[in-house]
Every structure is written in C-alpha cells, then in structure tokens.
Amino acid sequence: MAGGGAPWVQNAVGGEPVGHVLTLEKVADERVLGRGGFSLTSAAFRHGGELDPSFTAIEEDAVAPPLEWTAPPPGAQELVLVAEDVDRGHVHWTVWGLAPQKGQLMEGETPPRTGKNAHGNSEWLLPDPPLGEEHRYVFQLFAIDLPLTLMPGATHDELVRNLDGHVTAAAVLTARFEGHEVEELDVDDLDDVD
C-alpha cells in the first residue's frame, strides 16, 4: 500500500494515519479546507462516528447515507463529492453536477451524475471491511470554479484530472465501520403467530 496523507489531510479525516493519497490531497490544499465555513454533515453519523449497517454490505437493502452541506464560497460553479476508504484506498462513490449552493443528498437518493467506483459500477459501493477490521470512509466535497463536462460513468482518474487546479473550497466528513458477520434470519427463531 502506498503511503500518503499530508499532516493537514490526516488531521482533516480524524487524526490517524492515512494509508494512501486521498482525492483531497491530489486536487486541493490546506487553504481551501473549510474555506468560507464550507462544511459537510450527515444526520446519520457525526464526524468520526460509526456508519450504520443500513449503509453497508451488512444489510440487503442498504443505500448511500444522507449528506448535507452549507453554501460554498462565492464563485463556485458546481459541487463534486468523492467517498473513499481511507485505509484501503478504494473509491466508493464519485458524484458531480451538484448545484453550488446549500444542499443535500437524501438517504438513498440518486445523484445527478455518478462515475465508476472501485468495482467499476456507478452506485454507492457498500462498505464491506473484513470481519473484525475497522475501516474509515471519508466523504470529500469540493466546490469548483467551472462546470464539469464529464460523461456519467467517468473514472476516478478522469475526475481527478478535471478537478486539479479548480477546487475553491473543500469539506470533509469521516465515518467508521467494522466488518461484521451477516446475520441470517433463522425461521425457527420466529414466534408462531396464529
């Protein structure tokens, strides 16, 4: 695993070492982090908190978590979201085409445009760390100074090339999740309902 994580990035994602170079470090710098009060939150977890199983591979009908953000500084033309596994480096979600204003993605909402995740499809890649191993997932929101012309399904590398030099503000939100066994429902455990 390639080492990464400038001190400011490590601090932004929660203070612990970062296993690889995140998108944040590739396309932004410390000056744009939280610029103008730009921030990202979720009603489902606090920064550094536990990700509910309903957003992971543990649950069958899992969806992407809800996210909410403040207005970016003036001059933003579009918002872009990238979610990555801090510890493994896998891209879990790339989203762009978000309006450059205060906004949100509801739980399970289909975003305007999405690119390929680490498995090559365009959905929220459900976190599924190995049993007993905790991973951190960082949601990185970027305000950019031009609208992207990327086609849906673009790769993470294509997105990074288009963001480089255009990020005016960035916000970060980190969640943790530990691998669980998927609990099977045992019919014999159900009470008879007559």
Q: What is the pLDDT of residue 18?
A: 87
| Mean pLDDT within 170-174 | 98
Q: How many CB atoms lie within 10 A of CB 5?
A: 20
Q: Predicted confidence band at 2 (pLDDT cuts at 50, 70, 90)? A: very low
Architecture of domain 7-180 in this structure: Alpha-Beta Complex (3.90)
- pTM for this predicted structure: 0.90
Is the alpha carbon torsion for 84, 66, 158, 120 positive or negative? positive
Q: What is the pLDDT of residue 149?
A: 93
Report the chain's mean pLDDT, rounded to a whole number. 90
What percent helix, strand, coil does the chain show, rounded to 5? Answer: 15, 30, 55
* Per-residue model confidence as pLDDT tens digits over 56-106: 999 989 999 999 999 999 999 999 999 999 988 899 999 999 999 999 999
Q: Predicted confidence band at 20 (pLDDT cuts at 50, 70, 90)? A: confident
Predicted confidence (pLDDT) at residue 188 exceeds the cutoff of 90 = no
Helix (H) / strand (E) element for 156: namely helix 156-163
Domain boundaries, the chain: 7-180
| Mean pLDDT within 36-55 | 96
SS3 122: coil
Q: Predicted confidence band at 191 (pLDDT cuts at 50, 70, 90)? A: low
More confident residue, 157 or 60: 157
CA neighbor of 142 nearest in space, from 69, 191, 66, 88: 69
Amino acid at 114: T
How many residues in total does the chain contain? 194
